[in-house]
Each structure stands twice: as C-alpha cells, then as structure tokens.
Amino acid sequence: MEVLSRASALLLLLTLSAGNAASAGNAEDGTDRCKLTGESPSERAVLNRLAPLLHRNFSVQKKDQEDSYTYVFQLCGDADGVAGAGLVQNNDKTKKTTVVGRYNSTKAIGGSDWVMLFYEDGDNYGSLCGKARRKAIVMISCDRSTDANPLEAIVEERERKECFYLFELDTSAVCPTVESKLSAGSILLILGVCLVAVYLIGGVLYQRFVVGAKGRDQIPNYAFWAELGNLSADGCDFVCRSRSREEPNAYRGVSSEPEEEPEERDDHLLPM
C-alpha cells in the first residue's frame, strides 16, 4: 500500500506540472501593437484569438503575368522588417517594396472558426483604384491539422471601385475550443487503468529490486491477490455450479479401488 500511495503522489505531480506548462503558453501581449480603427473590446477579443501567429513572417510567392511578387504578412508586427507594415509586396525582379497594409489601421471580424483581418492605409495606387491607399484582407480559417499553413495569395482586386489584396491562411489558432470529448466516466476509467498500471509496474519494480523477490513473488501483494482469486473462485463455485460437488467424488469412490495412484506408478522411474 506504501507503493500505491507513492504512485498516486507521482501521478498527481505529473498532472500538476502538465497543467502549469499549458497555462504558461498564452502570449496575448503582442496584438496590442495592432491599432484598431474602431477600438472595441469585442474586436480586440477577435484579434487576440490570433495571438499564436504573432512574431512570424508568413510569405507567399505569386506570379502575375511577367512579374513575380513575394508577399510577406506578419500579425501586428513589421512584415519583412518594414516598419509599420503588416503586409508588404516585394517585386522579385526590381526588389521594390510596396506596403499593402499597415497594422496601425487594423480591423478584425470573426466567426466561430474564422477571423478576417484587414490592414488598411497601405501605399497609394499609382493610377488605378482612384489612387486610393492599398489594403490587404487576410482570411484566417480553422485547420486543426496545422499550426499555420503557408500563406496563400488569392486575388489582387484592381478592377473594382474598391480595391484590395486577398490572402488566405489556415491555422488551428482560430479553431473553436472543443469541450473534452471524454465524459467524466471515461476519464475516471482511464485514471483507474493508469493507477492500476502504475501500481503493477511500480509494485513489480519495488518487489524485484528493493525486496529482491523472484518469480511470482514479484507481483505486488501477491498473497492478497492470490487469496482474493481463491475467494472469488469459491464464490463462483458456490453460485454458478448447478450440480452438487459431491457427485463426482461419489462416482470416483466406486472405481477408486482398482485405480493406482499415478505418482506411485512413476516412482520406480526415478534414478535413485
């Protein structure tokens, strides 16, 4: 029983340290660098859901007729190191960098498994789009299989009155938190199985290396379990047997006289 209590203390310790590790990993500070155009607690909360994506450059290359561009996106941080830019476009040939959107002009809307992030106040269009400032829309969707898939450039809309660059990013960050699919009963069951396993393994190790037991004596509390086994066998015998136990004995009693005991027959074979 000493082994058992030691094992459960160990299990408790493991559970506690796992809990600490999980709660240490929430970094929500960095999204403060994003300035929301219409600051509101609910919009800030939507933005904070993206916190796992902080401090990372996401880039994608997109060919456009003869030109090739590399877009770099960062959440509330300098994309590709360009100050104030949340999303930049680099021309791969001319190396010209255009700011598509800035994080001092952010909007965020979201649903249960997606967040749509807007970066506005980018560089002005030359002649297109009424010389307006560029803006980027990043559609961030739930994908449980990945912490963040590569960024995807979907369209650069330039023919409409309102122009924008659209991107897509799949990540588990925006997935709804699922309630544990395990019911209280199955958790108890799993805990029970774990305790039994720890008891058996810990017990065997204890018996083997501390007590120095050999063979079946290595099974922890062997005498107790053996007795329990015998008792339940007796109980089953008592409950389940339909015929009386005396019958076979009585039958054997008749034929017992001509029958030799097998041990006695074997005796002469032993070398003495």
Ligand X SMILES: *[C@@H]1O[C@H](CO)[C@@H](O)[C@H](O)[C@H]1NC(C)=O
Residues at the interface with ligand X (CB under 6 A): 55-57, 80-81, 84, 102, 104-105, 121
Nearer to ligand X, 30 or 202 (CB): 30
Tell the smallest beta-carbon distance from residue 55 to ligand X (Å): 4
Tell the smallest beta-carbon distance from residue 168 to ligand X (Å): 20
Nearer to ligand X, 60 or 195 (CB): 60
Tell the smallest beta-carbon distance from residue 137 to ligand X (Å): 17
Tell the smallest beta-carbon distance from residue 80 to ligand X (Å): 5
Strands 97-111 and 114-120: what pairing?
antiparallel
Nearer to ligand X, 81 or 235 (CB): 81
Nearer to ligand X, 164 or 220 (CB): 164
Q: Count of CB atoms within 10 A of residue 175's CB?
A: 15
Q: Count of CB atoms within 10 A of residue 101's CB?
A: 30
Nearest to 33 by CA among 98, 99, 78: 78
Nearer to ligand X, 118 or 220 (CB): 118
Nearer to ligand X, 129 or 198 (CB): 129
Give the separation between CA 90 and CA 69, rounded to whole angstroms.
5
Tell the smallest beta-carbon distance from residue 197 to ligand X (Å): 43
Tell the smallest beta-carbon distance from residue 56 to ligand X (Å): 6
Tell the smallest beta-carbon distance from residue 119 to ligand X (Å): 10
Nearer to ligand X, 81 or 111 (CB): 81
